[in-house]
Amino acid sequence: MDIKVPAFSLMTLFIMATITGCDSEVKISDYDLEYLDIVGVEKLAKQKKTVIVDVRKSVDYQKGHIPNAVNIFSPDIRRHDPRLTSARTIIVYGQSQGDFKVRHAAKKLLAMNYPNIRVFAGGIIDWTAAKKPLNKPLDKELIRPNR
């Protein structure tokens, strides 16, 4: 029995394979991200297995960061990072609300199948403006901004 496949179907398959590629990666947009405010960050930070990731450069992290945050500069995010593998929720933040590195890092983590990625959109700017505590690893002390 001969099965005839219309030329149109073969052409459609060829075009789709060309457009998407055989090794196409998952496309993640800003609409796939979930955002938190300060209250949301504080609430999730109290839960077990929540990891807060500061994606700023180390020098900025050393000047002050959210307590218990780990510093993973955005380009250094990797699969199977031991600091992240046991996390149930990962909160990502950077300098400020418009910090594109934060969104990039969050999308990268999503593409690597890390669970429950959240973005603290306000970043360290909103955190300090709200007079929340900062941790300065160089000083090894917990400080509060002037009230």
Tokens of 40: 């949301």
85 close to 115: Cβ distance less than 8 angstroms:
no
Where does the pLDDT of residue 20 fall: very low under 50, low under 70, confident under 90, or very high at 90 and above?
very low
What is the C-alpha separation between 20 and 47, in angstroms, rounded?
39
Domain ranges of the chain: 28-143
Phi then psi for residue 35, to 5 deg, are -105, 150
pLDDT in tens, 30-81: 788 999 999 999 999 999 999 999 999 999 999 999 999 999 998 999 999 9
pTM, two decimals, is 0.76
Q: Which of the residue ranges 71-75, 84-88, 91-95, 138-142 would you say has the lowest mean pLDDT?
A: 138-142
Mean pLDDT, rounded, for 19-36? 68
Q: In what order do the strands lie in the sheet with 117-120?
A: 34-36, 117-120, 89-93, 50-54, 70-71
Tokens of 23: 């090794």
Architecture of domain 28-143: 3-Layer(aba) Sandwich (3.40)
pLDDT of 98: 80
